[in-house]
């Protein structure tokens, strides 16, 4: 007779700072994601500091805070950590204070460059000390060309530093998925043959900035993308929760590489405060809640769907992740991840 698997602490238990990605976690397009706002406000009401991390370099922290406030989140600019702010950490240790910086990007980036005491130019002819590149919807060929001219190396391979706020290949917008800053950085890379230092997720500078700003001792990061959010949190040594309201779905989670596996899987943010089921292994059977799967030969068999769909996905992920087997060699029933 099978019984329900045991439950452990809630994901929020013991957390002093909750760090949330924005697109796919708090909102999508122009709409707040169901249960996100009330769940984040409830966490704040319980005494947990809530901060927000974004790779999007096109908006300043003040603009992001005002946007979040429209959804009913009491957010101040200092609660928002942006990739341009993390880029300034890198830049400050690279060129002298007050240096002239060629900026490829929008207001969110120029605001931080000037706030950090640097001067802004848009032309390689001005002899900039470094190039900082971030996403903005109006970045075009001429801007990328100026960056390429400024970054050209001499015969000995010498040149100026290049810092990218982030390298997300895509960015979700109201009409769908569009090229992100990583695609624009790649265009410059193809022209100059070098790679930038990167400040945003999945690199650690943006997490370092957040932990330092909020004096976090036991943070939890919320994300919806494995290759930026979860990978970045793991690199920074921060526990992570993946919420299934954004980019990566159950199919990607089951196939996740070891360095992209979150500590918690959530359907929505209400589950932050709910006891998290313990994974139980009984021979070849993996049990989460009332869901049960068995990995036999090269097939994952569903023995019981359970009373919550998320528990079936949690069980499947645990079974596959603990097996050490390559995902392409396994037969996974589609109903697990649909």
The question of whether 224 is a catalytic residue gets the answer no
Measured distance CA(151)–CA(133) in Å, rounded: 12
- Percent of the chain clearing pLDDT 70 (strictly above): 99
pLDDT at res. 1: 47
Q: What is the pLDDT of residue 259?
A: 97
Per-residue pLDDT, 338: 81
Residue 98 · residue 117 · CB < 8 Å: yes
Out of 13, 16, 23, 248, which one is annotated catalytic? 23
Task: Return the closest-CA partner of residue 20 out of 5, 32, 30.
Answer: 32
14-45 in b/e form (b: 16+ CB < 10 A) is ebebbbbbbbbbbbbeeebbebbbebbebbbe
> How far, in Å, CA of 258 to CA of 251, rounded?
15
pLDDT at residue 337, rounded to an integer: 87
Q: Do residues 165 and 83 touch, judged by C-beta distance below 8 A? A: yes
* pLDDT band (50, 70, 90) for residue 3: low
Residue-wise pLDDT for 110-133, tens only, equals: 999 999 999 999 999 999 999 999
User: 133-155 pLDDT, tens per residue?
Assistant: 999 999 999 999 999 999 999 99
CA dist 96 and 87 (Å) reads: 15
CB atoms within 10 A of CB 194: 13
| Location of structure tokens 């790649």 | 186
What is the token pair recorded at 294?
């068995």
Burial of 100 (0-12, 13-18, 19+ CB in 10 A): middle
38-74 pLDDT, tens per residue?
A: 999 999 999 999 999 999 898 899 999 999 999 999 9
pLDDT band at 198 (very low <50, low <70, confident <90, very high): very high
What are the tens digits of pLDDT across the range 245-289?
998 999 999 999 999 999 999 999 999 999 999 999 999 999 999
Domains of the chain: 17-55+202-273 (3.40.50.1000), 84-198 (3.40.50.1000), 280-336 (no CATH)
| Overall size of the chain counted in residues | 338
21 is catalytic: yes
| pLDDT band, residue 295 (cuts 50/70/90) | very high
Residues 6+ apart with CB under 8 A from 123: 102, 146
Going by C-alpha positions, the residue among 64, 74, 274, 55 that lies closest to residue 185 is 55
The conformation of residue 276, written as its DSSP 8-state character, comes to P
Measure the CA–CA gap between 160 and 151, rounded to whole angstroms.
6
Q: How far apart are CA 181 and CA 294, in angstroms?
A: 42
How far from 253 is each of 26, 250, 259, 260, CA to CA, in Å?
20, 5, 12, 8
What does the mean pLDDT of the chain come to? Answer: 94
Active-site position among 13, 16, 21, 307: 21
Residue 77 has what DSSP assignment?
Answer: G
* pLDDT for res 2: 57
């Amino acid at each position: 007779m099978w019984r329900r698997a045991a439950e452990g602490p809630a994901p929020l238990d013991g957390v002093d700072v909750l760090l949330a990605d924005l697109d796919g976690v708090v909102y999508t397009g122009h709409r707040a994601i169901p249960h996100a706002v009330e769940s984040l406000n409830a966490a704040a009401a319980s005494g947990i500091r809530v901060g927000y991390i974004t790779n999007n370099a096109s908006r300043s922290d003040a603009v992001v805070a005002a946007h979040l406030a429209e959804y009913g989140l009491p957010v101040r600019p200092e609660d928002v950590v942006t990739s341009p702010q993390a880029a300034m950490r890198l830049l400050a240790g690279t060129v002298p204070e007050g240096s002239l910086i060629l900026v490829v990007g929008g207001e969110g980036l120029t605001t931080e460059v000037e706030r950090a005491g640097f001067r802004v130019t848009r032309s390689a002819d001005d002899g900039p000390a470094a190039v900082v590149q971030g996403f903005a919807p109006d970045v075009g060929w001429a801007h990328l060309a100026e960056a390429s001219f400024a970054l050209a190396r001499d015969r000995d391979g010498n040149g100026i530093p290049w810092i990218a706020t982030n390298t997300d290949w895509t960015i979700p917008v109201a009409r769908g998925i569009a090229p992100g800053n990583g695609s624009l950085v790649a265009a410059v890379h193809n022209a100059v043959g070098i790679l930038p230092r990167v400040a945003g997720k999945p690199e650690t500078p943006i997490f370092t900035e957040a932990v330092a700003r909020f004096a976090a001792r036991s943070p939890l990061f919320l994300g919806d993308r494995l290759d930026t959010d979860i990978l970045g949190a793991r690199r920074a040594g921060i526990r992570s929760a993946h919420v299934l309201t954004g980019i990566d779905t159950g199919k990607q989670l089951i196939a996740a590489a070891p360095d992209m596996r979150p500590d918690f899987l959530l359907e929505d943010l209400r589950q932050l405060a709910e006891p998290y089921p313990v994974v139980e292994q009984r021979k070849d059977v993996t049990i989460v809640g009332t869901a049960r799967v068995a990995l036999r030969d090269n097939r994952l068999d569903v023995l019981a769907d359970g009373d919550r769909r998320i528990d079936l996905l949690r069980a499947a992920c645990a079974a596959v992740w603990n097996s050490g087997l390559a995902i392409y060699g396994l037969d996974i029933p589609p109903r697990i991840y649909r």
